Structure 1
Protein backbone atom coordinates (compact mmCIF):
# COMPACT_ATOMS: atom_id res chain seq x y z
CA UNK A 1 0.00 0.00 0.00
CA UNK A 2 1.72 3.15 -1.21
CA UNK A 3 -0.88 5.87 -0.84
CA UNK A 4 -2.10 5.49 2.75
CA UNK A 5 -2.92 8.85 4.34
CA UNK A 6 -3.76 9.79 7.90
CA UNK A 7 -7.33 9.35 9.04
CA UNK A 8 -8.83 10.83 12.19
CA UNK A 9 -6.16 11.70 14.77
CA UNK A 10 -8.52 10.79 17.60
CA UNK A 11 -10.82 8.21 16.04
CA UNK A 12 -13.60 8.34 18.64
CA UNK A 13 -13.78 12.07 19.30
CA UNK A 14 -13.13 13.16 15.71
CA UNK A 15 -15.76 10.76 14.43
CA UNK A 16 -18.23 12.07 17.02
CA UNK A 17 -17.49 15.66 15.97
CA UNK A 18 -18.13 14.88 12.31
CA UNK A 19 -21.26 12.94 13.18
CA UNK A 20 -22.64 15.91 15.16
CA UNK A 21 -21.84 18.26 12.28
CA UNK A 22 -23.64 15.95 9.85
CA UNK A 23 -26.58 15.65 12.24
CA UNK A 24 -26.84 19.45 12.21
CA UNK A 25 -26.74 19.47 8.41
CA UNK A 26 -29.44 16.79 8.13
CA UNK A 27 -31.73 18.30 10.77
CA UNK A 28 -31.33 21.85 9.41
CA UNK A 29 -31.34 21.38 5.61
CA UNK A 30 -29.55 24.11 3.71
CA UNK A 31 -27.25 24.92 6.65
CA UNK A 32 -23.58 24.77 5.71
CA UNK A 33 -21.28 22.94 8.12
CA UNK A 34 -17.52 22.48 8.06
CA UNK A 35 -15.57 19.24 8.28
CA UNK A 36 -11.95 20.25 8.65
CA UNK A 37 -10.17 17.46 10.54
CA UNK A 38 -8.76 15.38 7.67
CA UNK A 39 -7.36 16.02 4.20
CA UNK A 40 -9.05 14.28 1.32
CA UNK A 41 -7.97 10.81 0.21
CA UNK A 42 -6.46 11.18 -3.26
CA UNK A 43 -8.66 13.49 -5.33
CA UNK A 44 -11.58 13.10 -2.93
CA UNK A 45 -12.59 16.34 -1.22
CA UNK A 46 -11.85 16.61 2.53
CA UNK A 47 -15.53 16.74 3.51
CA UNK A 48 -16.40 13.67 1.42
CA UNK A 49 -13.56 11.77 3.06
CA UNK A 50 -14.76 12.72 6.55
CA UNK A 51 -18.38 11.84 5.80
CA UNK A 52 -17.29 8.31 4.95
CA UNK A 53 -14.87 8.07 7.89
CA UNK A 54 -17.70 9.09 10.24
CA UNK A 55 -20.56 7.06 8.75
CA UNK A 56 -19.21 4.10 6.76
CA UNK A 57 -17.58 0.88 7.95
CA UNK A 58 -16.92 -2.67 6.82
CA UNK A 59 -20.65 -3.43 6.73
CA UNK A 60 -21.59 -0.55 4.40
CA UNK A 61 -20.87 -1.05 0.66
CA UNK A 62 -19.76 2.15 -1.08
CA UNK A 63 -20.38 2.88 -4.76
CA UNK A 64 -17.70 5.06 -6.40
CA UNK A 65 -18.05 7.06 -9.59
CA UNK A 66 -15.42 6.49 -12.28
CA UNK A 67 -12.97 9.20 -11.15
CA UNK A 68 -12.71 7.68 -7.68
CA UNK A 69 -12.83 4.09 -8.83
CA UNK A 70 -9.57 4.62 -10.73
CA UNK A 71 -7.93 6.72 -8.00
CA UNK A 72 -5.58 4.33 -6.19
CA UNK A 73 -5.22 6.68 -3.22
CA UNK A 74 -9.00 6.68 -2.75
CA UNK A 75 -9.50 2.93 -3.00
CA UNK A 76 -6.46 2.01 -0.89
CA UNK A 77 -7.38 4.42 1.89
CA UNK A 78 -11.03 3.37 2.01
CA UNK A 79 -9.95 -0.26 2.18
CA UNK A 80 -7.37 0.50 4.87
CA UNK A 81 -9.40 2.83 7.10
CA UNK A 82 -12.88 1.35 6.64
CA UNK A 83 -12.55 -2.07 5.06
CA UNK A 84 -15.75 -1.36 3.15
CA UNK A 85 -16.81 -3.13 -0.05
CA UNK A 86 -16.23 -0.90 -3.08
CA UNK A 87 -18.76 -1.30 -5.89
CA UNK A 88 -17.69 -0.70 -9.50
CA UNK A 89 -19.04 2.34 -11.35
CA UNK A 90 -19.59 0.45 -14.59
CA UNK A 91 -21.91 -2.09 -12.96
CA UNK A 92 -25.00 0.08 -12.63
CA UNK A 93 -27.18 -2.88 -11.72
CA UNK A 94 -25.46 -3.11 -8.32
CA UNK A 95 -25.79 0.56 -7.43
CA UNK A 96 -28.86 -0.46 -5.41
CA UNK A 97 -26.61 -2.47 -3.09
CA UNK A 98 -24.73 0.63 -1.92
CA UNK A 99 -25.31 2.25 1.46
CA UNK A 100 -23.28 5.22 0.26
CA UNK A 101 -22.58 6.50 -3.25
CA UNK A 102 -19.87 9.05 -3.98
CA UNK A 103 -19.87 11.06 -7.21
CA UNK A 104 -16.77 13.09 -8.03
CA UNK A 105 -17.11 16.66 -9.31
CA UNK A 106 -15.46 15.54 -12.57
CA UNK A 107 -18.12 12.84 -13.05
CA UNK A 108 -21.23 14.91 -12.32
CA UNK A 109 -21.62 16.24 -15.87
CA UNK A 110 -21.73 12.76 -17.42
CA UNK A 111 -23.71 11.05 -14.68
CA UNK A 112 -27.04 9.66 -15.94
CA UNK A 113 -29.42 10.28 -13.05
CA UNK A 114 -32.42 8.88 -14.92
CA UNK A 115 -30.69 5.49 -15.21
CA UNK A 116 -29.35 5.35 -11.66
CA UNK A 117 -30.52 2.47 -9.52
CA UNK A 118 -29.68 3.66 -6.02
CA UNK A 119 -31.81 1.96 -3.40
CA UNK A 120 -34.71 4.10 -2.14
CA UNK A 121 -35.63 1.83 0.77
CA UNK A 122 -38.94 0.07 1.29
CA UNK A 123 -42.04 0.80 3.33
CA UNK A 124 -40.82 -1.33 6.23
CA UNK A 125 -37.25 -0.01 6.20
CA UNK A 126 -37.11 3.37 4.40
CA UNK A 127 -33.94 4.22 6.32
CA UNK A 128 -31.96 1.59 4.40
CA UNK A 129 -31.79 3.70 1.25
CA UNK A 130 -28.57 4.92 -0.36
CA UNK A 131 -27.06 8.18 0.86
CA UNK A 132 -25.64 9.96 -2.20
CA UNK A 133 -22.63 12.26 -1.74
CA UNK A 134 -22.13 14.70 -4.62
CA UNK A 135 -19.07 16.93 -5.00
CA UNK A 136 -19.50 20.41 -6.52
CA UNK A 137 -17.35 23.47 -7.14
CA UNK A 138 -18.86 25.71 -4.47
CA UNK A 139 -21.62 26.17 -1.87
CA UNK A 140 -23.10 29.29 -0.32
CA UNK A 141 -26.23 30.66 1.32
CA UNK A 142 -25.59 33.98 -0.45
CA UNK A 143 -25.57 34.77 -4.20
CA UNK A 144 -22.15 33.90 -5.61
CA UNK A 145 -21.25 34.29 -9.26
CA UNK A 146 -22.68 31.71 -11.62
CA UNK A 147 -24.61 29.36 -9.35
CA UNK A 148 -27.77 27.30 -9.28
CA UNK A 149 -30.18 29.08 -6.90
CA UNK A 150 -32.31 26.73 -4.82
CA UNK A 151 -35.08 27.44 -2.32
CA UNK A 152 -35.44 24.86 0.47
CA UNK A 153 -38.54 24.40 2.63
CA UNK A 154 -39.76 21.69 4.95
CA UNK A 155 -38.90 20.14 8.35
CA UNK A 156 -36.00 21.85 10.11
CA UNK A 157 -36.42 25.09 8.13
CA UNK A 158 -38.33 27.95 9.76
CA UNK A 159 -39.59 29.55 6.55
CA UNK A 160 -37.30 29.19 3.53
CA UNK A 161 -33.57 28.58 3.12
CA UNK A 162 -31.64 29.75 0.06
CA UNK A 163 -28.82 27.62 -1.29
CA UNK A 164 -26.45 28.46 -4.13
CA UNK A 165 -24.52 25.63 -5.79
CA UNK A 166 -21.61 26.33 -8.11
CA UNK A 167 -21.04 23.54 -10.61
CA UNK A 168 -19.73 22.89 -14.10
CA UNK A 169 -23.02 21.29 -15.10
CA UNK A 170 -26.36 22.72 -14.05
CA UNK A 171 -28.19 20.27 -16.31
CA UNK A 172 -26.94 17.32 -14.27
CA UNK A 173 -27.87 19.00 -10.99
CA UNK A 174 -31.36 19.68 -12.31
CA UNK A 175 -31.63 16.00 -13.28
CA UNK A 176 -30.54 15.08 -9.75
CA UNK A 177 -33.27 17.29 -8.28
CA UNK A 178 -35.81 15.76 -10.65
CA UNK A 179 -34.83 12.30 -9.42
CA UNK A 180 -35.51 13.39 -5.83
CA UNK A 181 -39.14 14.10 -6.77
CA UNK A 182 -39.84 10.70 -8.30
CA UNK A 183 -40.09 8.83 -4.99
CA UNK A 184 -42.95 9.17 -2.54
CA UNK A 185 -41.94 9.91 1.06
CA UNK A 186 -40.84 8.12 3.21
CA UNK A 187 -39.04 6.35 0.35
CA UNK A 188 -36.29 8.24 -1.44
CA UNK A 189 -32.66 9.25 -1.41
CA UNK A 190 -30.83 11.52 1.00
CA UNK A 191 -28.21 13.75 -0.63
CA UNK A 192 -25.10 15.25 0.93
CA UNK A 193 -23.56 17.96 -1.26
CA UNK A 194 -19.89 18.71 -0.66
CA UNK A 195 -17.43 21.40 -1.67
CA UNK A 196 -13.96 21.31 -0.14
CA UNK A 197 -14.55 21.20 3.62
CA UNK A 198 -18.18 22.36 3.37
CA UNK A 199 -21.24 20.16 3.57
CA UNK A 200 -24.95 20.77 3.04
CA UNK A 201 -27.68 18.15 3.29
CA UNK A 202 -30.76 17.67 1.11
CA UNK A 203 -32.73 14.97 2.94
CA UNK A 204 -35.75 13.39 1.26
CA UNK A 205 -38.11 15.31 3.54
CA UNK A 206 -36.95 18.66 2.11
CA UNK A 207 -38.74 20.36 -0.76
CA UNK A 208 -36.23 21.85 -3.19
CA UNK A 209 -37.25 24.35 -5.86
CA UNK A 210 -34.97 25.80 -8.53
CA UNK A 211 -35.28 29.57 -8.62
CA UNK A 212 -35.01 31.63 -11.81
CA UNK A 213 -31.73 33.32 -12.60
CA UNK A 214 -31.59 36.95 -11.55
Structure 2
Protein backbone atom coordinates (compact mmCIF):
# COMPACT_ATOMS: atom_id res chain seq x y z
CA UNK A 1 0.00 0.00 0.00
CA UNK A 2 1.44 3.39 -0.96
CA UNK A 3 1.75 6.13 1.64
CA UNK A 4 -0.73 8.21 -0.37
CA UNK A 5 -3.43 5.56 -0.03
CA UNK A 6 -2.81 4.65 3.61
CA UNK A 7 -5.54 5.67 6.07
CA UNK A 8 -4.74 8.48 8.49
CA UNK A 9 -4.91 6.92 11.95
CA UNK A 10 -3.72 10.07 13.76
CA UNK A 11 -7.19 10.63 15.22
CA UNK A 12 -7.88 6.97 16.04
CA UNK A 13 -9.84 6.56 19.27
CA UNK A 14 -9.72 3.42 21.44
CA UNK A 15 -12.49 0.92 20.91
CA UNK A 16 -13.93 -1.40 23.52
CA UNK A 17 -11.51 -2.39 26.29
CA UNK A 18 -12.84 -5.95 26.01
CA UNK A 19 -13.91 -6.11 22.35
CA UNK A 20 -15.78 -9.43 22.49
CA UNK A 21 -17.64 -9.10 25.77
CA UNK A 22 -18.29 -5.36 25.49
CA UNK A 23 -19.71 -5.78 21.98
CA UNK A 24 -21.89 -8.65 23.18
CA UNK A 25 -23.24 -6.62 26.10
CA UNK A 26 -24.03 -3.61 23.91
CA UNK A 27 -25.65 -5.89 21.32
CA UNK A 28 -27.90 -7.39 24.00
CA UNK A 29 -28.82 -3.93 25.32
CA UNK A 30 -29.78 -2.79 21.82
CA UNK A 31 -31.85 -5.92 21.14
CA UNK A 32 -33.63 -5.47 24.46
CA UNK A 33 -34.34 -1.82 23.67
CA UNK A 34 -35.93 -2.81 20.36
CA UNK A 35 -37.91 -5.65 21.94
CA UNK A 36 -39.27 -3.37 24.68
CA UNK A 37 -39.87 0.06 23.14
CA UNK A 38 -40.10 2.79 25.75
CA UNK A 39 -37.72 1.11 28.17
CA UNK A 40 -34.40 2.94 28.09
CA UNK A 41 -31.34 0.73 28.20
CA UNK A 42 -27.81 1.65 29.23
CA UNK A 43 -24.85 0.51 27.15
CA UNK A 44 -22.41 1.20 29.98
CA UNK A 45 -19.46 3.58 30.13
CA UNK A 46 -17.46 1.47 27.70
CA UNK A 47 -16.01 4.36 25.69
CA UNK A 48 -14.44 7.67 26.58
CA UNK A 49 -16.67 10.72 26.05
CA UNK A 50 -16.39 12.45 22.69
CA UNK A 51 -17.72 15.73 21.33
CA UNK A 52 -18.55 13.98 18.04
CA UNK A 53 -21.28 11.63 19.25
CA UNK A 54 -22.67 10.08 22.42
CA UNK A 55 -21.29 6.94 24.02
CA UNK A 56 -24.58 5.20 23.15
CA UNK A 57 -24.37 6.03 19.44
CA UNK A 58 -20.70 5.12 19.11
CA UNK A 59 -20.98 1.93 21.14
CA UNK A 60 -24.01 0.84 19.10
CA UNK A 61 -22.13 1.27 15.84
CA UNK A 62 -19.01 -0.48 17.15
CA UNK A 63 -21.16 -3.41 18.28
CA UNK A 64 -23.36 -3.72 15.18
CA UNK A 65 -21.25 -2.65 12.22
CA UNK A 66 -18.82 -4.90 10.37
CA UNK A 67 -17.13 -5.16 6.99
CA UNK A 68 -20.41 -6.07 5.29
CA UNK A 69 -22.50 -3.16 6.62
CA UNK A 70 -22.19 0.28 5.05
CA UNK A 71 -22.48 3.17 7.52
CA UNK A 72 -23.64 6.65 6.50
CA UNK A 73 -22.43 9.53 8.64
CA UNK A 74 -24.52 12.67 8.40
CA UNK A 75 -21.70 14.92 9.58
CA UNK A 76 -17.92 14.85 9.28
CA UNK A 77 -16.74 12.90 12.33
CA UNK A 78 -13.05 12.12 11.85
CA UNK A 79 -12.52 10.38 15.20
CA UNK A 80 -15.55 8.12 14.83
CA UNK A 81 -14.80 7.46 11.17
CA UNK A 82 -11.28 6.30 12.02
CA UNK A 83 -12.55 4.12 14.85
CA UNK A 84 -15.18 2.47 12.65
CA UNK A 85 -12.70 1.77 9.86
CA UNK A 86 -10.09 0.34 12.22
CA UNK A 87 -12.26 -1.59 14.69
CA UNK A 88 -15.08 -2.80 12.41
CA UNK A 89 -13.88 -2.49 8.81
CA UNK A 90 -17.26 -1.01 7.89
CA UNK A 91 -17.36 0.93 4.61
CA UNK A 92 -18.30 4.54 5.32
CA UNK A 93 -20.63 6.71 3.25
CA UNK A 94 -20.84 10.48 3.55
CA UNK A 95 -22.59 11.42 0.32
CA UNK A 96 -26.31 12.11 0.59
CA UNK A 97 -26.78 10.33 -2.73
CA UNK A 98 -25.68 7.08 -1.04
CA UNK A 99 -28.41 7.06 1.63
CA UNK A 100 -30.28 4.14 0.11
CA UNK A 101 -27.15 1.98 0.31
CA UNK A 102 -26.61 2.40 4.05
CA UNK A 103 -27.27 -0.42 6.49
CA UNK A 104 -26.79 2.01 9.37
CA UNK A 105 -27.09 5.80 9.35
CA UNK A 106 -25.88 8.03 12.17
CA UNK A 107 -27.74 11.32 12.53
CA UNK A 108 -25.83 13.75 14.73
CA UNK A 109 -27.76 16.78 13.46
CA UNK A 110 -31.30 15.40 13.67
CA UNK A 111 -32.89 18.80 13.10
CA UNK A 112 -31.64 18.53 9.50
CA UNK A 113 -32.48 14.89 8.88
CA UNK A 114 -32.83 13.96 5.18
CA UNK A 115 -36.27 12.90 3.98
CA UNK A 116 -36.88 9.46 5.45
CA UNK A 117 -37.96 8.08 2.07
CA UNK A 118 -34.37 8.47 0.87
CA UNK A 119 -33.13 5.74 3.17
CA UNK A 120 -33.51 2.06 2.32
CA UNK A 121 -36.96 0.96 3.52
CA UNK A 122 -36.78 -2.68 2.46
CA UNK A 123 -39.64 -4.39 0.65
CA UNK A 124 -42.62 -6.57 1.53
CA UNK A 125 -40.52 -9.60 0.51
CA UNK A 126 -37.32 -8.43 2.23
CA UNK A 127 -38.19 -5.94 5.00
CA UNK A 128 -34.80 -6.55 6.59
CA UNK A 129 -33.11 -4.78 3.66
CA UNK A 130 -33.62 -1.40 5.32
CA UNK A 131 -31.53 1.23 7.02
CA UNK A 132 -31.38 1.34 10.80
CA UNK A 133 -31.28 4.97 11.91
CA UNK A 134 -29.12 5.75 14.93
CA UNK A 135 -30.17 9.21 16.09
CA UNK A 136 -27.98 11.13 18.53
CA UNK A 137 -30.09 13.54 20.57
CA UNK A 138 -29.27 16.00 23.37
CA UNK A 139 -31.86 14.72 25.84
CA UNK A 140 -33.69 11.46 26.42
CA UNK A 141 -35.77 10.37 29.40
CA UNK A 142 -38.47 7.93 30.43
CA UNK A 143 -41.79 9.58 31.21
CA UNK A 144 -42.78 13.19 30.61
CA UNK A 145 -40.67 14.85 33.26
CA UNK A 146 -37.00 15.26 33.90
CA UNK A 147 -35.68 16.80 30.69
CA UNK A 148 -36.50 19.18 27.88
CA UNK A 149 -37.82 17.76 24.64
CA UNK A 150 -40.88 16.51 22.84
CA UNK A 151 -43.25 14.34 24.83
CA UNK A 152 -44.10 11.10 23.07
CA UNK A 153 -46.50 8.26 23.80
CA UNK A 154 -45.63 4.85 22.39
CA UNK A 155 -47.92 1.93 21.61
CA UNK A 156 -47.41 -1.39 19.86
CA UNK A 157 -45.74 -4.79 20.21
CA UNK A 158 -43.57 -5.07 23.31
CA UNK A 159 -45.60 -2.44 25.19
CA UNK A 160 -48.36 -3.60 27.57
CA UNK A 161 -50.55 -0.49 27.21
CA UNK A 162 -48.44 2.55 26.43
CA UNK A 163 -45.05 4.01 27.32
CA UNK A 164 -44.16 7.68 27.69
CA UNK A 165 -40.78 9.14 26.82
CA UNK A 166 -39.30 12.58 26.27
CA UNK A 167 -36.92 13.05 23.34
CA UNK A 168 -35.04 16.24 22.54
CA UNK A 169 -33.68 17.26 19.15
CA UNK A 170 -36.44 15.78 16.98
CA UNK A 171 -39.43 17.95 16.13
CA UNK A 172 -43.03 16.95 15.41
CA UNK A 173 -42.37 17.01 11.65
CA UNK A 174 -39.91 14.14 12.01
CA UNK A 175 -42.49 11.98 13.77
CA UNK A 176 -45.13 12.89 11.20
CA UNK A 177 -42.77 11.79 8.43
CA UNK A 178 -42.10 8.54 10.28
CA UNK A 179 -45.82 7.92 10.74
CA UNK A 180 -46.31 8.37 6.99
CA UNK A 181 -44.16 5.27 6.42
CA UNK A 182 -46.67 3.04 8.23
CA UNK A 183 -48.56 2.37 4.98
CA UNK A 184 -45.43 0.66 3.61
CA UNK A 185 -45.25 -1.94 6.38
CA UNK A 186 -43.56 -4.43 6.63
CA UNK A 187 -41.08 -2.12 4.92
CA UNK A 188 -39.94 0.82 7.02
CA UNK A 189 -37.22 2.11 9.30
CA UNK A 190 -36.10 1.00 12.75
CA UNK A 191 -34.76 3.71 15.06
CA UNK A 192 -32.19 3.64 17.85
CA UNK A 193 -32.13 6.94 19.72
CA UNK A 194 -29.13 7.62 21.92
CA UNK A 195 -28.17 10.22 24.51
CA UNK A 196 -25.28 9.86 26.91
CA UNK A 197 -24.89 6.12 27.49
CA UNK A 198 -28.62 5.41 27.12
CA UNK A 199 -30.46 4.02 24.10
CA UNK A 200 -34.16 3.89 23.18
CA UNK A 201 -35.34 1.41 20.56
CA UNK A 202 -38.23 2.24 18.25
CA UNK A 203 -38.91 -0.52 15.73
CA UNK A 204 -41.14 0.22 12.76
CA UNK A 205 -44.02 -1.53 14.55
CA UNK A 206 -44.14 1.12 17.29
CA UNK A 207 -46.81 3.81 16.95
CA UNK A 208 -45.55 7.19 18.19
CA UNK A 209 -47.97 9.91 19.25
CA UNK A 210 -46.75 13.44 19.97
CA UNK A 211 -48.42 14.56 23.20
TM-score normalized with structure 1 length: 0.87
Provide the residue aligned with 1:137 in structure 2.
138
Of 50, 69, 72 in structure 1, the residue corresponding to residue 78 of structure 2 is: 72
C-alpha distance in 2 between matches for 1:73 and 1:40: 12
Question: 1:44 Cα shift?
Answer: 1.7
Question: 1:92 Cα shift?
Answer: 2.3
Question: 1:166 Cα shift?
Answer: 2.3
Provide the residue aligned with 1:49 in structure 2.
58
Provide the residue aligned with 1:123 in structure 2.
124
Provide the residue aligned with 1:21 in structure 2.
29
C-alpha distance in 1 between matches for 2:42 and 2:147: 21
Are 2:42 and 1:34 equivalent residues in the alignment?
A: yes
Q: CA RMSD in A?
A: 1.6
Does the residue aligned with 1:44 lie in a helix, a strand or coil? coil
TM-score normalized with structure 2 length: 0.88
Question: Does structure 1 conserve the Cα–Cα contact (< 8 Å) formed by 2:65 and 2:90?
Answer: yes
Question: 1:41 Cα shift?
Answer: 5.7
User: For residues 88-99 of structure 1, what are the structure 2 equivalents within 5 Å?
Assistant: 88=94, 91-99=95-103
C-alpha distance in 1 between matches for 2:129 and 2:162: 28
Provide the residue aligned with 2:200 in structure 1.
200
What whole-Å deviation, never above 9, does each CA across 1:121-164 have from its counterpart, x for those lacking one? 01111012000011111111131343200000000000000011
Would you say how many aligned residue pairs link Structure 1 and Structure 2? 199
C-alpha distance in 2 between matches for 1:149 and 1:157: 17
Question: Does structure 1 conserve the Cα–Cα contact (< 8 Å) formed by 2:13 and 2:82?
Answer: no
Provide the residue aligned with 1:101 in structure 2.
105
C-alpha distance in 2 between matches for 1:85 and 1:152: 34
Provide the residue aligned with 2:178 in structure 1.
180
**Structure 2 unaligned spans of 5+:** 1-8
What whole-Å deviation, never above 9, does each CA across 1:19-51 have from its counterpart, x for those lacking one? 111111000001101112122566121111110
C-alpha distance in 1 between matches for 2:61 and 2:91: 12
Question: Does structure 1 conserve the Cα–Cα contact (< 8 Å) formed by 2:73 and 2:92?
Answer: yes
**Structure 1 unaligned spans of 5+:** none
Question: 1:175 Cα shift?
Answer: 2.5
